[in-house]
C-alpha cells in the first residue's frame, strides 16, 4: 500500500522535499498541484522536475480510493452513492447530497458529502448495516480526504459541506480524523469552514472530550435513538459502555463551550423507541442540552427485524416534541431507493461478491 500525500501539512511537504534535496518553493508548487488544481497524478505536475515527479510517484499516491460502483437515486433528489475500493481491497461508501438547505431556509451549500471514517464499525448498533459485520479497520487521514476528492471527480464540482455520517464511528478514529480535519479546514488545502462540517457520533465520551479540546467550531450530531438507558441499550450496545448518565454531562459540557446547537439524531423504530412517552423523555433531554432533534424513520435493512413506523405515527411523535417547543425536523432518507442509509450499498456488494462474508482481507474484530 502506497501512503498518500494528501494528509501532509505545508511543513511536512517542505521537510519531505528538503530531504530529497529540493528548495521550499517546490513544496509550495506541490501543494498547489494537490489542492488548488486537484491533480490526480504526479505526472500532471508540469512545473516539477521529471525526476522528482517519478520519485514521488514511486513512493506516494494522491488517490487512495478507486471508484467501483455509482448508484443514482431515481427519485430526482440528486443523491448519488458511490462505493470505492481501497488499496487493500476493502470497500467504503460515500454519499453525495446536493444543495443542503441551511437554517432559515437559505441555500447553505451546493454539494454535501457524507463521509465514512472506518471500514465497518465496532459499535454494532442493532439497526445499522455498517456494524453488521463488525469492525475491519480505521480509515487513514488520506483515505478520509481521498473520499472528498473522489466525490468531486464524480460530481464535477467542489464539495463545500461535510457530514461524517457514513460508515464507522468518527470519534473512535480521532488519530486519523484530526489530521484529516487539519487539511479540510486549512484554507491552503480544502478550506471548508468548520460550520460546514458535522461530526456524528454514537456517543464516545472520551472522544467527545478530545474533539472539544481540538477547539474548532464544528457541528456535532449525536445518534441518540433512545431517551432512556433501557431503550438505548437495546439498540445501541455502546450505551452500556457510556450510559446516558455519562454521555449527557459530556454533551452538556460540549453545549456550554460550543456556539452551534447540538443535533440529536433519533431513528424511529416501530414499538422499540417510537412510543409517545419516549417523546416526552426525548424532549427533556433536548431541553437540557438546548439541542434540536432530527427524526429519521428507520430505513429497512435486509435481514434485520426492525419495522419502520407509519408516516402517521412519525408525525404524531414529531408533534409530541413540538408540543414541548423542541426544534425538530423529520428526515426522510434521501435516495431510499439506492440504500442511502450508510453501510447498505457495501453490504449488498459484499453479498454479491463474497456470499455475505465480510470484506476481503482482515477478519472483522470487535475493536
Applying CB under 6 A, among 130, 147, 294, 339 the residue interacting with ligand SF4 is 130
Residue 112 vs 202, nearer CB to ligand SF4: 202
Confirm whether 342 is a catalytic residue: yes
Tell which residue, 321, 273, 246, has the closest CA to residue 127: 273
3-state SS assignment for residue 58: helix
Give 22 or 219: the residue with its C-beta nearer to ligand SF4: 219
For 180-247, the DSSP string reads: HHHHHH-TTTT---GGGEEEEES--HHHHHHHHHH----EEEEE---SSHHHHHHH-THHHHS-HHHH
Name which position in 77, 161, 189, 299 contacts ligand SAH (CB under 6 A).
299
Other CB atoms within 10 Å distance of the CB of residue 10: 15
CA 228 from chain center: how many Å? Answer: 25
Residues 139, 115: contact at Cβ < 8 Å?
no
List beta partners, residue 69: 83
Q: By C-alpha distance, which of 94, 73, 74 is closest to 84?
A: 94
Q: What are the residues whose beta carbons fall under 8 Å from the beta carbon of 52, sequence distance 6 or more?
A: 17, 20, 22, 26
Nearer of residues 33 and 242 to ligand SF4, judged by Cβ: 242
User: Does 131 help bind ligand SF4 (rule: CB under 6 A)?
Assistant: yes
In this chain, which stretch among 103-111, 123-131, 283-291, 318-326 interacts with ligand SF4, using CB under 6 A? 123-131
Restricting to residues 179-208, name those near ligand SF4 by CB under 6 A. 202
Those residues whose C-beta lies under 8 Å from the C-beta of residue 164, and which sit 6 or more positions away, are: 114, 115, 117, 170, 177, 197, 198, 199, 200
> Is residue 170 part of the contact set for ligand SF4 (CB under 6 A)?
no
Residue 184, CB-side half-sphere exposure with 13 Å CA sphere: 32
201 touches ligand SAH (CB under 6 A)? yes
Q: Nearest residue by C-beta to ligand SF4?
A: 131
Instruction: Judge whether 190 and 154 are in contact, CB under 8 Å.
Output: no
Q: Which of 29, 140, 147, 200 binds ligand SAH (CB under 6 A)?
A: 200
Active site residue 253: no
By CB under 6 A, residue 364 contacts ligand SF4:
no
Q: Which of 65, 112, 122, 109 is nearest to 335 (CA)?
A: 112
> Judged by CB under 6 A, does residue 121 bind ligand SF4?
yes
Q: Which of 127, 242, 254, 317 binds ligand SAH (CB under 6 A)?
A: 127
Note whether 272 binds ligand SAH by CB under 6 A.
no
User: Residue 226 interacts with ligand SF4 (CB under 6 A)?
Assistant: no
* Nearer of residues 57 and 367 to ligand SAH, judged by Cβ: 367
Q: Is 298 in the site for ligand SAH (CB under 6 A)?
A: yes
Catalytic option among 7, 43, 93, 152: 93
Nearer Cβ to ligand SAH, position 34 or 144? 144
Cite the active site residues: 93, 342
List contacts with ligand SF4 (CB under 6 A).
121, 123-125, 128, 130-131, 167-169, 202, 223
Amino acid at each position: 500500500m502506497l501512503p498518500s500525500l494528501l494528509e501532509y501539512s505545508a511543513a511536512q511537504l517542505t521537510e519531505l522535499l528538503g530531504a530529497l534535496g529540493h528548495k521550499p518553493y517546490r513544496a509550495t508548487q506541490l501543494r498547489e498541484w494537490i489542492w488548488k488544481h486537484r491533480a490526480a497524478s504526479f505526472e500532471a505536475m508540469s512545473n516539477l522536475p521529471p525526476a522528482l515527479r517519478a520519485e514521488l510517484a514511486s513512493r506516494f499516491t494522491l488517490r487512495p480510493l478507486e471508484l467501483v460502483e455509482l448508484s443514482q437515486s431515481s427519485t430526482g433528489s440528486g443523491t448519488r452513492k458511490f462505493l470505492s475500493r481501497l488499496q487493500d481491497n476493502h470497500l467504503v461508501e460515500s454519499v453525495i447530497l446536493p444543495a443542503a438547505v441551511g437554517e432559515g431556509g437559505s441555500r447553505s451549500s451546493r454539494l454535501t458529502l457524507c463521509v465514512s471514517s472506518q471500514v465497518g464499525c465496532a459499535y454494532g448498533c442493532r439497526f445499522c448495516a455498517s456494524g453488521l459485520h463488525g469492525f475491519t479497520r480505521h480509515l487513514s487521514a488520506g483515505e478520509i480526504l481521498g473520499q472528498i476528492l473522489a466525490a468531486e471527480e464524480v460530481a464535477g464540482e467542489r464539495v463545500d459541506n461535510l457530514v461524517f455520517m457514513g460508515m464507522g464511528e468518527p470519534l473512535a478514529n480521532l488519530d486519523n480524523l484530526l489530521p484529516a480535519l487539519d487539511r479540510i479546514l486549512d484554507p491552503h488545502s480544502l478550506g471548508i469552514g468548520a460550520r460546514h462540517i458535522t461530526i456524528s457520533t454514537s456517543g464516545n465520551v472520551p472522544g467527545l472530550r478530545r474533539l472539544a479540546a481540538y477547539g474548532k467550531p464544528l457541528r456535532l450530531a449525536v445518534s441518540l435513538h433512545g431517551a432512556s438507558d433501557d431503550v438505548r441499550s437495546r439498540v445501541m450496545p455502546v450505551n452500556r459502555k457510556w450510559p446516558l448518565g455519562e454521555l449527557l454531562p459530556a454533551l452538556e459540557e460540549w453545549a456550554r463551550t460550543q456556539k452551534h446547537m447540538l443535533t440529536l439524531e433519533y431513528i424511529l423504530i416501530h414499538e422499540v423507541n417510537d412510543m409517545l412517552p419516549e417523546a416526552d423523555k426525548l424532549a427533556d433531554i433536548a431541553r437540557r442540552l438546548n439541542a434540536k432533534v432530527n427524526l429519521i424513520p428507520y430505513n429497512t435493512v435486509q435481514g434485520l427485524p426492525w419495522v419502520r413506523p407509519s408516516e402517521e405515527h412519525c408525525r404524531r411523535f414529531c408533534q409530541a416534541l413540538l408540543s414541548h417547543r423542541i426544534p425538530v425536523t423529520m428526515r426522510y432518507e434521501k435516495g431510499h431507493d439506492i440504500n442511502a442509509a450508510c453501510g447498505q450499498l457495501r453490504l449488498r456488494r459484499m453479498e454479491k461478491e463474497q456470499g455475505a462474508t465480510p470484506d476481503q482481507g482482515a477478519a472483522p474484530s470487535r475493536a
